Amino acid sequence: MPDRQPIALIVDDEPDICDLISMTLRRMDVKADVAMSVAEAKRRLSEKCYDFCLTDMRLPDGEGLEIVEKVQDFPAERSLPIAVITAHGNMDTAITALKLGAFDFVSKPVNLERLRSLVQLALRLNEGRHIEQQEFPPLLQGPSEPIQKLRSQIEKIARSEAPAHIIGEAGTGKELTARTIHEQSPRSDKPFIPMYCATIPAGSIEETLFGRSDTNSLSAGLVLAANGGTLFLDEISCLPPETQVKLLQIIQDKAISSTGGDVVHDLDIRILSASQTPLIEEVRAGRFHSDLYYRINVIELHAPPLRQRHDDIPLLVRNTLRKISADQRGAIPKASQDAITALQAYSFPGNLLELENILERAVTLCERNTLYAADLLIPRDQPAPMPGPPEVAKQQNSSNPLPQLTPLTECGPGAYPGQFSASDYSTLDEFLQTIERTAIEDALDKTDWNRTAAAEKLGISFRSLRYRLKKLGLENE
């Protein structure tokens, strides 16, 4: 932001509110112009460059949403944060404004502490216009259309305070997406607190999230730990119904209180959430609170699966190999063209996480500095990789080919496929883990990596499947 006193445009037809907001801004060393109608606001916005705008929703000649829409049409060099003032409890109007591009809202009667926090965020958002564009994390880089769309959404969402929900398969980088939104936002110097709702026992989830509460005190949970920053709720659909209701109340009140209400903490947090499937399906099934859905799903974005990022594979491989070499403190390995081709032909049910695992395993086991397709050990149900270097191709064509796994479902009852020979394994545990891994991967493949359906197919509980996935290194992000 230039070295000048920032200036705001306040749009409201109530003189008392305009005076209150203007006085608050002056104490923050912010000048304020006032407009009392939509027409006057549009005229002022056309004549002067403001650092941010705050508008009431109901005006004599129209709706504040008209002003929100006008600001969205400004060119990038004139873009400015705009927030809205809503009637108390009118969250539907606030959500509409956020969807149109407003970065935040404040309710009447205006809480001055909340107003000051909003103004500070607005000024920091405006400063961000003059900062060189940040580079995206390596796993979110690439020329493919789906990842370019996601990066564009991240940049826009980072300039807003609107709650956003990320949908993506296991391993697509949902937490990385949320963290990038946080790091590109004006909250970047505040905490980013992730919570994995699916892994916390139901009996502990409220204390973990909201803290331990009694009449006179409230110990810090993750909500308070994230105050000022961002709270990321992964697999939010796993929250119990009573926890969903409490979270909804906290979002609406922007405060958290002790059991008796004697201790109240004002909250200034942004909530980002994620799930593997659209939350609306959980709402329709009656497992997720509809009001909470509309509060957290103001903006929805999709983390694309790796099979849709064919053109990104070469760059992702280079970036991942650099990371592996840094972790192992060795020379940076290279991937041959036939290795790249083999990876581009693979569907990656485990997405980015599986790509990292495949490359790390290959680097660890390969004695050369160049990886060929045969070094990747890509599962056999995928298109066959192209030949590697002469010595590898010779090994593949010899009388002792590399072992290939057959899905257990193709074997007769009580039988094991031929490759499960004791001579191929050094221990019984290794032998049994191979069988277990193959059965689980086969069930996951046949259910499109729907863990609930896979557990049912295997005849085990969801919790048991999750434990086995973790034990076998197949657990998602």
Residue 198 lies in a domain: yes
281 shares a domain with 171: yes
177 shares a domain with 119: no
CATH code for the domain in which residue 16 is found? 3.40.50.2300
Residue in this structure with the two tokens 């992730």, named with its chain if needed: 194
Name the β-bridge partners of 34: 10
Eight-state DSSP code of residue 213: B
Q: What is the reported pLDDT for 179?
A: 97
Q: What is the reported pLDDT for 136?
A: 93
Q: Is the pLDDT of residue 28 over 80?
A: yes
376 shares a domain with 448: no
89 shares a domain with 20: yes
Amino acid code (one letter) for 439: A
Give the whole-angstrom CA distance, residue 278 versus residue 194: 20
Residues 260-280: tens digit of each pLDDT: 556 678 888 999 999 999 999
Token pair listed for 404: 């290939």
**Long-range pairs of 187-190 with CB within 8 A, sequence gap ≥ 24:** 187/121, 187/228, 187/229, 187/230, 187/270, 190/228, 190/229, 190/230
CB of 444 within 8 A of CB of 413?
Answer: no
CATH code for the domain in which residue 422 is found? 1.10.10.60
Strand blocks (E) in 131-190: 164-167
Q: What is the reported pLDDT for 134?
A: 66
CB of 170 within 8 A of CB of 441?
Answer: no
Q: Is the pLDDT of residue 129 over 60?
A: no
345 shares a domain with 234: no
Residue 421 lies in a domain: yes
CATH code for the domain in which residue 327 is found? 1.10.8.60
313 shares a domain with 298: no
CB of 469 within 8 A of CB of 475?
Answer: yes
Residues 104-115: tens digit of each pLDDT: 888 888 888 889
The helix (run of H) or strand (run of E) holding residue 468 is: helix 462-471
CATH code for the domain in which residue 206 is found? 3.40.50.300
**3 state DSSP class of 195:** strand
- Indicate the pLDDT class of residue 196, thresholds 50, 70 and 90: very high
327 shares a domain with 415: no
Residue 449 lies in a domain: yes
Residues 222-262: tens digit of each pLDDT: 999 999 999 999 999 999 999 999 999 999 888 887 655 56
Give the whole-angstrom CA distance, residue 474 versus residue 476: 6
434 shares a domain with 299: no
Candidates 352, 297, 321; CA nearest to 175 is 352
Give the whole-angstrom CA distance, residue 351 versus residue 313: 11
122 shares a domain with 104: yes
Residue 138 lies in a domain: no
Residues 79-96: tens digit of each pLDDT: 889 999 988 667 788 888
Instruction: Indicate the residue among 277, 304, 331 that finishes a domain.
Output: 304
Domain range spanning residue 366? 305-402
Residue 142 lies in a domain: no
Pairing mode, strands 255-257 and 264-266 = antiparallel
**3 state DSSP class of 364:** helix
Give the whole-angstrom CA distance, residue 295 versus residue 98: 11
Candidates 447, 455, 436, 445; CA nearest to 350 is 445
Instruction: Indicate the residue among 285, 304, 323 that finishes a domain.
Output: 304
Token pair listed for 451: 């863990």
Q: What is the reported pLDDT for 412?
A: 38
281 shares a domain with 210: yes
415 shares a domain with 333: no
194 shares a domain with 119: no
Residue 145 lies in a domain: no
Q: What is the reported pLDDT for 430?
A: 66
Number of domains forming the structure of the chain: 4
Residues 133-190: tens digit of each pLDDT: 568 999 999 999 999 999 999 998 998 888 999 999 999 999 999 999 999 998 999 9
Residue 141 lies in a domain: no
Residue 134 lies in a domain: no
- Average pLDDT over the chain reads 83
Q: Which sign does the torsion angle of CA 188, 221, 292, 235 carry? A: positive
Instruction: Indicate the residue among 402, 417, 436 that finishes a domain.
Output: 402
